[in-house]
Amino acid sequence: MTLGAAVAAVCGTEPRRATPLIGGCIAEVYRLDFDDRPPLVAKVAAPNGSGGGLAIEGFMLDYLAEKTALPVPATRHVSEELLLMDYVEHGPGRSAAAEVDAAERLAALHGITAREYGFERDTVIGALPQPNSWTENWCDFYREQRLLVIGLIARESGRLPAETHRRLERFCLQLENFIDQPPAPGLVHGDVWSGNVLFGESRVAAFIDPAIYYADPEVEIAYIELLSTFGAAFHRRYRELRPLRPGYEEGRRDVYNLFPLLVHTEICGPPYAQMVQDILTRYG
């Protein structure tokens, strides 16, 4: 079935134009323009894909729309093969006012708490699995369901050298020396890089492609700093609303960046593997 026919089966009308957009890891992405309705975004699973990624993405967007005030695109159809959502108008850049809005939005998101770390179902980050079994202890969760899981995936693919993987396993045995138990698990978007934030003139128009779970919210801030998603206006406002705990800059930031660096190692290879190695060397 063609994309136009698949969309028509859901919407009752076929798009007059499908324009490719820059997409993620699990699908082809198009802007769909119609004669009789506002535009949509279509994500179409690759023919050789494992399935499930788009359905999980749709679930996460719906969860954020229903449970939080974070701006996300409204979904119109969710399945493993096709995800349809509203097209969100946005601009090419970010302003200081929009960064302040992003800080306020994410601070509010991080203030939504759960009794334990994890989530009600496993999710994904890009095309990679993200297990989320509820865990009372944050260090146990971060070690067992983040670092060791993605570390093994990157090792088995050959992108993470065997010696670096062994050092990661040894480091995980002493993880309690570097991270503490936060006051409460907070809901995080999980993948806040510049491509996943759509800006309006003075606000965030939408956050897209979430990888949600309940975590130490500082993992989100460390990731944002690693990828330079936002500038000084964001960080200043966020810290006004949610001051970071002592020890973040001295060590937790690097430890929290091991996970996204391992993800990028699996996706992109050697440069990120070296960054993982550098952090492990720094902390013994």
pLDDT tens, position by position, 62-121: 999 999 999 999 999 999 999 999 999 998 878 999 999 999 999 999 999 999 999 999
Predicted confidence (pLDDT) at residue 274 exceeds the cutoff of 90:
yes
From the list 78, 70, 129, the residue with the least C-alpha distance to 102 is: 70
Average pLDDT value for residue range 133-139 = 98
Amino acid at 256: Y
Q: List active site positions.
A: 191
Predicted confidence (pLDDT) at residue 24 exceeds the cutoff of 70:
no
Half-sphere exposure of 39 (CA within 13 A, CB side): 12
Amino acid at 109: L
Predicted confidence (pLDDT) at residue 157 exceeds the cutoff of 60:
yes
Ramachandran quadrant class, 247 (left: phi over 0; alpha: psi -120 to 50; beta: rest): left
Band the pLDDT of 52: cuts 50, 70, 90.
low
Structural element, H or E, at residue 204:
strand 204-207
d(CA 252, CA 175): 10
Structural element, H or E, at residue 17:
strand 17-21
Give the model's pLDDT for residue 240: 98
Q: How many angstroms separate the Cα of 181 from the Cα of each of 11, 233, 259, 276?
A: 47, 28, 18, 23
Give the model's pLDDT for residue 23: 67
Segment 26-45, tens digit of pLDDT: 789 999 999 999 999 999 98
Average pLDDT, the chain: 95
Predicted confidence (pLDDT) at residue 281 exceeds the cutoff of 60:
yes
Give the model's pLDDT for residue 46: 77
* Residue 56 or 126, more confident: 56
d(CA 253, CA 77): 38
